[in-house]
Structure 1
Amino acid sequence: MPETKVIVIPEGKICDYVDGKFRNDTPEEYVRQTIEKRLVNEHKYSPKQIRIEYTLQLGSRKPRADIVIFDNSDIEQTQNNIKLIIECKKETVDARNAKDGVEQLKSYMSACPNCEWGMWTNGKQKEVFHKYVDDKGNLAFMDYNDIPSADGNLDDINRPKRSSLKNAYDDNLLFVFKTCHNHIHVNDGLQKQPAFFELLKVIFCKIEDERNIPKPLEFYTTSEERSNPDGQLTVRKRISKIFERVKRKHGKIFDANDEIKLSPRSLAYIVSELQKYSLLNTNIDIKGKAYEEIVGANLRGDRGEFFTPRNVMKMVVEMINPQIDEKVLDSSCGTGGFLVTAMTHVIAQLEKDFSKDIGCERKDWDSDSVRAFQDRISEMAATNFFGFDINPDLVKATKMNMVMNNDGSGNILQTNSLLPPHEWSDDFKTKLAEALGVKKSDIRNHTTLEFFNVIVTNPPFGSKIPVKDKNVLEQFELAHIWDNDKANNKWTMTERLQSSVPPEILFIERCTQLLVPGGRMGIVLPDSILGSPGLGYIREWLIKNHRIVASVDLHVDTFQPRNGTQTSVLFLQKKTEEQKQTEETSGTMADYNIFMAMVEKVGHDKRGNPIFKRDPEGNEILVPDTNSVLVLGETSEGDKTVSHQQKKKVEDDQTPDVPEIFAKWKQQEGIAW
């Protein structure tokens, strides 16, 4: 293989996505780079058409426009030939700001005779203008949904077709979700949480409309509708009809009398921001990052919840390797990240098998095959994926996450899963029994819960939220007081209960109770459980009841900036009664190796800022971005040529390396899964 060319980035600089120049790494620059990626990857402008920090002539002044775009790359790049101007500001600058707001953009557009389009954004607000000459011969500016793409098609801006929907790239979906949420929060006067749920309803409508094949898309607003009260009411009526279908289809999430409470003006704005994207087809990591970040910002509770980073979830799921026919549970599902990641892992296996069955790859499937495959996914999701959480808002958010990714919302249930099963609500037990295909009477107590093959979870931690209820504690051996025989290094459980127990300790045992014999779990735990001398009884209980397959020590910054608890992921396989009996009879534990790993780099620092790989001198490096190779021409023989390739920094993250090493180790140890 040819050696990858590496470029060193000076400290405090970033490499511009379009022109490759080094610029100061500032909040304003982050906004500009996000827009540049969208121009190239979504709107398909050639980097040769785009100029950064272009000097304009405005009378005696010579301001620099952040981004200008010319009609094509061959045209003379003078001020007269500018087609589009974009101004990017940091989040704290308001669009109405006298010096740096939209009036500055309009003055730039006015000074460029052929400039028809302009966009102003600070990452939270976005304004798009189409310049025209009114009846009196004066320059005027009309609000528009979005800037045109490189092909100049305005119809798709106003009413996109299925074929013109774009997949979001990089942070752009996060950018859009934040913009929409901020708009609701500011303009409708809603608090952050109600604002989030109103946004959720509109996202549901978007997904329902995308699924409504082969009918034309109804989730849209034209620029004219968005700009006047009558048009805004028309949009509201159109989206409300879609929401009626959503409520019928997702009765477990929305009440029959639920309605979208946004003002017509806000609703039209949000529709205009979302309508160009395909939420179904956008890469799952991009969707997941955008969704989980906005959920985390608005629904994070006070029950010790701190959501697992996506890279850690991916590592855990790849290591635990759920299979197509296995039942998978997250007993503290939060935003649903673990479940979506697990489902994606299984869908990849399903797609491979399905392609083999029909004799062609996914890109060559016909519409009947696509529908058949989607039915297989829905069936699998309804049968095999389960999530529990105590927080009803997070349950709703998880259902949404599952629907947005693969329509597996059915088995996300609200409950305090630590309660004795006889105290679980009748509704919860009915739904659970139905989904598992068992009798409700089979779910009797903590000894009759062995239903799941795989559990992946990050339980709530914390001495601030201990469990003190005697009815709850008496279900768990780990809630008892254990005596320590130091001479023989042995712990013995007594009949006495502890007065209070941190929830993560009980969750270990509850997860074990929920696993079938031979089932396996990946669970995030505080390091104190694995190392504190006073908690030796937990380790003894773990060894007695499980094969300890692996322990992965996570960097202290893994859950930062919100939580600095040092954690590890423990991978356990539940022993069968026969295995335990054999060991008890012989008085010796089975001898086996344990996979141990330390993740020293997780891709971000304690403030949550990304950390990138550096050269031996400590400088950040750039490598070609293989996901954004641009085909910009053809030779006379018709061969494609690439004359420009963006470059990217490489996150310094070791989590993707662990599953590969673990897979080789498993093979050596003869572990089948």
Structure 2
Amino acid sequence: PRGSKEAHGFSRCEYHRVKQQFPQIFETNDEIKLQPRSLAWIVSEFQSYSLLETHVDVKGKAYEELVGANLRGDRGEFFTPRNIMRMAVEMVNPKPEEKVCDTSCGTGGFLVTAMNHIIEQLKREVADDFGLGEIEWSDYQKSVVRDRIKQIAASDFYGFDINPDLVKATKMNMVMNNDGSGNIYRNDSLLPPHEWSQELKQELADALKIQAEIITNTDSIAFFDVIVTNPPFGSDIPIKDTHVLEQFDIGHIWRKNVGTGWAISDTFQTSVPPEQLFIERCLQFLKPDGRLAIVLPDSILGNPGLGHIRQWLLEKTRIVASVDLHADAFQPRNGTQTSVLILQKKTQEEINEERYARQITPYNIFMAMVEKVGHDRRGNTLFKRDKDGNEVWVPEENTSPINYRNAEGAIVDVQTERKTRVIDDQSRDIPQLFADWKREEGIGW
């Protein structure tokens, strides 16, 4: 039909324009391969929606469900639920001007969540400067904020993933959400820095405003203030290469000595699950005092045979928080019991002082258990119920008035109240509890 051919032609022209606008995402030879009839149907389905005005969370959720489902591989990739990402980002609290990274970025959920977190802070700061709420900003003031957001996305957000399709997906996710693709690179984050491609080193150096020549080993990659990540994990994807293991203390065999704890040996392990090495790599990527939010299997926190990792963490970091997640947190795709750790990298001076004193300076740790994650093991949404078992309904926020013609024939606005069910999700409460605890502990970030 003529309409199908016109839609196909228009879409091809628009796609060509988008490819030129975002060459960092699309290859020059990429083409739309759908038949005209199929493309016309898709266009008609999307016609009634405005992606530019859609709430970011809805857009990101839809994108990750549609794209992520087709890109999941067999390398331990189980993308983090959005409520857990939001909890982790709010707890680690990245701020404007801080460099943020995800070392296993997947489709970019953590980076988008972190960027939105910083944008909200930026908007509050700008609103205070303007003395106006966001809804009252002029077009000029809005353009100032948009330019600042683009600048932040271009200079402060970084991601690595070994999967080229996921790298492209992350870039597109960043563009869809806040018009900035960030600095997303295809790279095996566990490779020794001297094996990184020269192109990667140069691009990374340009973005960080450093010299590419200094990127040589694990002591030269402390680039970031905040890392938020969920590394691939599982014993079925072990790291066995000695040239990779030799970069890491955790890649060595450790032996337990009575009375003195664990001691590292010169011998390398035959294989190590990747999540264990990612802990150390993330800390290598962090600046001193940098903050890490990482999703890890509970075996690292409780397995007696992994006591050397816990000892190493206590020596190298301050364990700020440990949040135990319900077993259904990653369901329906994965039932591994996991936790979110919030760590702060110690400075070398702090490490040296504690070694000299032969003891770790005592401190408090925030600990919590999330027993309800908003869905069951089949992925069905769960809602809060009262003591009688009835679902709890609350008024929706920001409901718009409706037009109503009264008895005199005049059209008036009538404020209505719509109600919605409350998702039974305790992860939403953790950030505020953590913020209150931080104030009591005198933690400034």
Q: TM-score range by the shorter chain?
A: over 0.9
Q: Deviations over 1:316-343 (max 9, x none)?
A: 1111110001000000011111000000
1:573 lines up with 2:319 in the alignment:
no
In structure 2, what is the equivalent of residue 498 of structure 1?
269
Structure 2 residues not aligned, in runs of 5+: none
**Structure ID, larger Rg:** 1
Cα gap change, 1:355 to 1:629, in 2 (>3 Å)? closer
In structure 2, what is the equivalent of residue 641 of structure 1?
414
Provide the C-alpha distance between the structure 2 equivalents of 1:649 and 1:366, rounded to a whole number of angstroms.
36
Is the contact made by 1:385 and 1:408 (CA closer than 8 Å) also made in structure 2? no
Provide the C-alpha distance between the structure 2 equivalents of 1:256 and 1:527, rounded to a whole number of angstroms.
45
Q: Deviations over 1:365-417 (max 9, x none)?
A: 22222222111101111000011111111111111110000122140111101
Residue among 471, 480, 483 paired with 2:252 = 480
Q: Deviations over 1:26-85 (max 9, x none)?
A: xxxxxxxxxxxxxxxxxxxxxxxxxxxxxxxxxxxxxxxxxxxxxxxxxxxxxxxxxxxx
| Aligned-residue offset at 1:475 | 0.2
Residue among 362, 370, 385 paired with 2:142 = 370
5 Å-filtered alignment, 1:372-451, equals 372-451=144-223
Provide the C-alpha distance between the structure 1 equivalents of 2:92 and 2:201, rounded to a whole number of angstroms.
27
1:585 lines up with 2:342 in the alignment:
no
Q: Deviations over 1:517-569 (max 9, x none)?
A: 00000000000000000000000000000011000000010001111100000
* SS of match in other structure, 1:626: coil
Q: Give the letter for the 1:641 counterpart.
A: V
| Aligned-residue offset at 1:494 | 0.4
| Aligned-residue offset at 1:420 | 0.5
| Aligned-residue offset at 1:628 | 4.0
Provide the C-alpha distance between the structure 1 equivalents of 2:152 and 2:381, rounded to a whole number of angstroms.
36
Q: Give the letter for the 2:120 counterpart.
A: A
In structure 2, what is the equivalent of residue 615 of structure 1?
386
Provide the C-alpha distance between the structure 2 equivalents of 1:338 and 1:377, rounded to a whole number of angstroms.
17
In structure 2, what is the equivalent of residue 508 of structure 1?
279
In structure 1, what is the equivalent of residue 64 of structure 2?
292
Provide the C-alpha distance between the structure 2 equivalents of 1:664 and 1:438, rounded to a whole number of angstroms.
38
In structure 2, what is the equivalent of residue 598 of structure 1?
369
Provide the C-alpha distance between the structure 2 equivalents of 1:361 and 1:619, rounded to a whole number of angstroms.
38
In structure 1, what is the equivalent of residue 327 of structure 2?
556
Provide the C-alpha distance between the structure 2 equivalents of 1:297 and 1:502, rounded to a whole number of angstroms.
24
Is the contact made by 2:403 and 2:411 (CA closer than 8 Å) also made in structure 1? no
Q: Deviations over 1:442-471 (max 9, x none)?
A: 111111110000000000010000000111
| Aligned-residue offset at 1:630 | 4.3
Q: Deviations over 1:111-143 (max 9, x none)?
A: xxxxxxxxxxxxxxxxxxxxxxxxxxxxxxxxx
In structure 2, what is the equivalent of residue 624 of structure 1?
395
Residue among 120, 129, 149 paired with 1:357 = 129
Q: Deviations over 1:230-288 (max 9, x none)?
A: 23222222222222221112112112222211111122221222233221221111111
Is the contact made by 2:94 and 2:114 (CA closer than 8 Å) also made in structure 1? yes
Is the contact made by 2:228 and 2:293 (CA closer than 8 Å) also made in structure 1? yes
Q: What is the TM-score normalised by the length of structure 1? A: 0.64
Provide the C-alpha distance between the structure 2 equivalents of 1:577 and 1:281, rounded to a whole number of angstroms.
47
Is the contact made by 2:401 and 2:413 (CA closer than 8 Å) also made in structure 1? no
Cα gap change, 1:357 to 1:647, in 2 (>3 Å)? closer
* SS of match in other structure, 1:324: coil
Is the contact made by 1:454 and 1:521 (CA closer than 8 Å) also made in structure 2? yes
* SS of match in other structure, 1:510: helix
Structure 1 residues not aligned, in runs of 5+: 1-228
| Aligned-residue offset at 1:489 | 5.2
Residue among 409, 413, 423 paired with 1:651 = 423
Q: Give the letter for the 2:360 counterpart.
A: M
Provide the C-alpha distance between the structure 2 equivalents of 1:302 and 1:318, rounded to a whole number of angstroms.
30
Q: Deviations over 1:92-120 (max 9, x none)?
A: xxxxxxxxxxxxxxxxxxxxxxxxxxxxx
Q: What is the TM-score normalised by the length of structure 2? A: 0.96
Provide the C-alpha distance between the structure 2 equivalents of 1:628 and 1:545, rounded to a whole number of angstroms.
50
Provide the C-alpha distance between the structure 2 equivalents of 1:453 and 1:580, rounded to a whole number of angstroms.
19
CA RMSD of aligned residues (A): 1.7
Is the contact made by 2:383 and 2:421 (CA closer than 8 Å) also made in structure 1? yes
Question: Taking every aligned residue pair, what percent have the same amino acid on both sides?
Answer: 59
Is the contact made by 1:328 and 1:453 (CA closer than 8 Å) also made in structure 2? yes
Residue among 428, 449, 452 paired with 2:224 = 452
Report the more deviating stretch, 431-440 or 326-335: 431-440
Provide the C-alpha distance between the structure 1 equivalents of 2:237 and 2:368, rounded to a whole number of angstroms.
30
Report the more deviating stretch, 410-419 or 508-517: 410-419
In structure 2, what is the equivalent of residue 520 of structure 1?
291
Residue among 443, 464, 484 paired with 2:236 = 464
Is the contact made by 2:403 and 2:412 (CA closer than 8 Å) also made in structure 1? no
In structure 2, what is the equivalent of residue 534 of structure 1?
305
* SS of match in other structure, 1:242: helix
Q: Give the letter for the 1:591 counterpart.
A: P
List, as ranges, runs of 4+ consecutive aligned residues in structure 1 with deviation greater than 6 Å. Answer: 634-639
Q: Give the letter for the 2:397 counterpart.
A: T
Q: Give the letter for the 1:463 counterpart.
A: S
The count of residues paired between Structure 1 and Structure 2 equals 443
Provide the C-alpha distance between the structure 2 equivalents of 1:534 and 1:377, rounded to a whole number of angstroms.
46
Provide the C-alpha distance between the structure 2 equivalents of 1:601 and 1:367, rounded to a whole number of angstroms.
43
Is the contact made by 2:293 and 2:341 (CA closer than 8 Å) also made in structure 1? yes
Cα gap change, 1:239 to 1:582, in 2 (>3 Å)? same
Q: Deviations over 1:170-218 (max 9, x none)?
A: xxxxxxxxxxxxxxxxxxxxxxxxxxxxxxxxxxxxxxxxxxxxxxxxx
